[in-house]
Amino acid sequence: MGRMKPVIGVTTSRRSGWRIYPLIALNLWLAGGRGRRWDSGREADIGAVDGLIVGGGDDISPELYEGEIVVSARLDPARDALERRLVRAALAAGKPVLGICRGAQMLNVALGGDLHQDAYRHHADSRFFRTILPRKDVEIAPDTLLARIAGAAPMRVNALHSQAVRRLGAGLRVAAIKGTGTGAFGDMNAYADAGAQVTLDFTDAGMATTYLEPLPRIRAALDTLLAEAAARDCDVAVVEIADGVLQRETAALLADPAARSAFDGFLYACPDALSAVGGVAALAPCGVRPHALTGLISRAPLATREAEAATGLRVISREALRDPAEAMAALRMIAARSSATVQG
């Protein structure tokens, strides 16, 4: 018996899929595979296929990433829900996923990224060509899967979409948790604006502030919040331990072995080189050695060099931590499922 052809699920629009799917199916057949068309009106099970292609079509609703909506957008919420579910299921199952046009944008949104709803407003120097002919130049990043398949030479492609990727998804579901301090709604907004899909703080555990609270109660609240993040399928929990390493409740939490065991690694946020040296020294008796420094210090090249030389720790900038590749590198560096940021 010959080898079975791989079956690839292909998502399309219920409205226009009839003219798009045959072209994708033909290319799959030429490559030795077999397509199975899915849309929001058909049963779709990722377990029944060997891979997934998310096809092109209508704009993705900004409700999926809290973006702005434009009047000219044509949306398909049922298809959005279907494709996001299938992308996440395919990646969780380790099955290959290809996004075409809208599909590439859905990949980004499903992984926590967002989009420019009107890309040409943000990229005014880019010309919009209303044609299916290849009129746009694309540079291929080296050492990528696309470069290995198609080569690194520039490509000519068409581009009918007015949407474009704005912030890349990191491929992880992230919870941001404020572990100590005083309740402030602005912190939750800041966490969400930074890309956290789940935001929690000690007010969710029944405390308005951790000031003068006994250590067992603070520790129990932290355990509750971490458990909630895990229940919401978060891969990473970033915990802010606020108010400085010498503040009473913060110092007690860091000195407690049971509390420290909840964290896989630490970043130390500080404003200058002197704070970096003093903070690292203050953390040492607690058995805490930060994996890196970050914070306002990263804005000053001289302070960064001084701190790195004095502490032997790398300074990671805010811009670097916004880059999914850098964020993943930091996670690999501490071999973590979760990390914590201690503010100085």
The pLDDT of residue 236 is: 81
Domain definitions of the chain by residue range: 7-167, 174-343
The stretch 315-325 carries a mean pLDDT of 76
Q: What tens digit of pLDDT does each residue of 98-148 get?
A: 999 899 889 888 887 788 777 777 666 677 777 777 777 887 776 667 778
pTM of the model: 0.54
Cα–Cα distance for residue pair 123/119, rounded to 1 Å = 6
Q: Residue 343 pLDDT more than 60?
A: no
Helix (H) or strand (E) holding 156: strand 155-157
- The whole-angstrom separation of Cα 104 and Cα 87 is 11
Residue 21 has what pLDDT?
92
Residue 1 has pLDDT above 60, yes or no: no
Q: Does domain 7-167 have CATH number 3.40.630.30?
A: no
Instruction: Report percent pLDDT > 70 for the chain.
Output: 84
Using alpha carbons, select from 159, 49, 191, 163 the residue that is nearest to residue 107. Answer: 163
Dump the DSSP string for 31-64: TT-EEEEE-TTS---GGG-SEEEE---SBPPGGG
- The confidence score (pLDDT) of residue 341 equals 46
**Cα-based angle 94, 63, 178 (whole degrees, multiple of 5):** 75
Rounded CA-CA distance 287/310 in Å is: 19
Contact 32, 4 (CB under 8 A): no
Average pLDDT, whole number, for the chain? Answer: 82
| Residues 293, 339: Cα–Cα separation, whole Å | 13
